Amino acid sequence: MIQDIDIFKAKILIVDDQAANVLLLQRMLQGAGYTFVASTQNSTEVYQLHKINKYDLILLDLQMPLLDGFEVMQGLKELETGGYLPVLVITAQPDEKLRALKAGAKDFVSKPFELAEVLARVHNMLEVRLLSVETKTLYEQVLEEKKITERLLLNVLPSSVVDRLKGRKDIMGDSFSQLIADSLPEVSVLFADVVGFTKFSEGISPEVLVNVLNDIFTRFDKIADHRGLEKIKTIGDCYMAVAGVPFALPNDAERAVDMAFDMLRALDQFNQQENYKLNIRIGISTGAAVAGVIGKRKFLYDIWGDVVNTASRMESQGVAGRIQITDSTRKNLGQSFQLEMRGSIDIKGMGHMDTWLLSVRD
């Protein structure tokens, strides 16, 4: 990495109240190939100059009027939040060298100047300085990429599952074999489907179709976050969410029902704003399930069990604009819901089941 750093493009500032010293150092550095060499004979300007230009190296004379080199270094510490002072002190006093190093300087150049010493110390200090800056930049890039990765994971997986995956060394390879699976004694699964969406989509462009679904499902996502449900996935115009994963919370069934009512209201608002007449069916069932992450690529957090199939049937064989629930969900609701028994209906693949339609909450 060091060989890739262009040291000769480093920003250098010479600070000395003696014009002859400034001129001599400038000639030495420019003759060696350094292209950005600035100077000042006024020590009070150093702070502001460094604040603007962020020099990679400051050659600083210790003995100056107004502010001496030690006072200048103290002021520079306020700008260098990382604690590194890019200062190479200039002194003719041997006893000042140790004091300067204790004050934060990284090295020193002795007077009278010797060309070889000046160039060697400048080169060595710049090499360390620029490598440190490059390493810090790379580290910050890695941290930013890590944050982006985590945000993407949080968009598709529950936060608790992301925390479990982050410690897995095999997550990015084909050897990802340790399953993440949880047995859940009771969850409430919600399915919602836009009624007649296939026919609706025949008369609009793909762009409008996607925008409509995106708008509706974004509203549903906000409701899920508010009610504490986990969005599992969307399949076409079908939306699936679950209360009780990845861990149970109080009143999971009630929170699922509250979300269902919020979804109906959200779709009404969408229709009023966009001048559409869309409708949805919603089905909910409560029961045991298994949830976890499947696949080696494109991870998906999913849920399995009879409760999922039953909730899907509650939706597909439900009533447009209504919320249909199973008896298991009804038993988990409080007394503040109005229920209308739909009766025993033949649920495809499951036989006859008692189902209920929800009315407005008391």
The pLDDT of 10-20, averaged and rounded, is 91
Look at the chain and count its residues: 362
Comparing CA positions, the residue from 362, 253, 244, 232 lying closest to residue 301 is 232
Longest dimension (CA), the chain: 103
Comparing CA positions, the residue from 113, 118, 91 lying closest to residue 103 is 91
The pLDDT of 143-147, averaged and rounded, is 66
In one letter, which amino acid is 57? L
Domains in the chain, CATH or no CATH each:
2-139 (3.40.50.2300), 174-361 (3.30.70.1230)
Which ranges of 240-338 does DSSP label H, i.e. alpha helix?
Answer: 252-274, 306-316, 327-330
Is the per-residue pLDDT at 242 higher than 90? yes
pLDDT of residue 2: 42
Is the per-residue pLDDT at 320 higher than 50? yes
pTM score of the predicted model = 0.58
Between the alpha carbon of residue 205 and those of residues 134, 197, 220, the distances in Å are 49, 13, 23
Comparing CA positions, the residue from 215, 241, 217 lying closest to residue 228 is 241
Write the pLDDT tens digit of every residue in 254-270.
Answer: 999 999 999 999 999 99
Phi and psi dihedrals of 144, rounded to 5?
A: -65, -40
Q: Do 105 and 123 form a contact (C-beta atoms < 8 A)?
A: no
Q: Using alpha carbons only, what angle is made at residue 298 by residues 312 and 208, rounded to the nearest 5 degrees?
A: 65
Q: Do 252 and 150 form a contact (C-beta atoms < 8 A)?
A: no
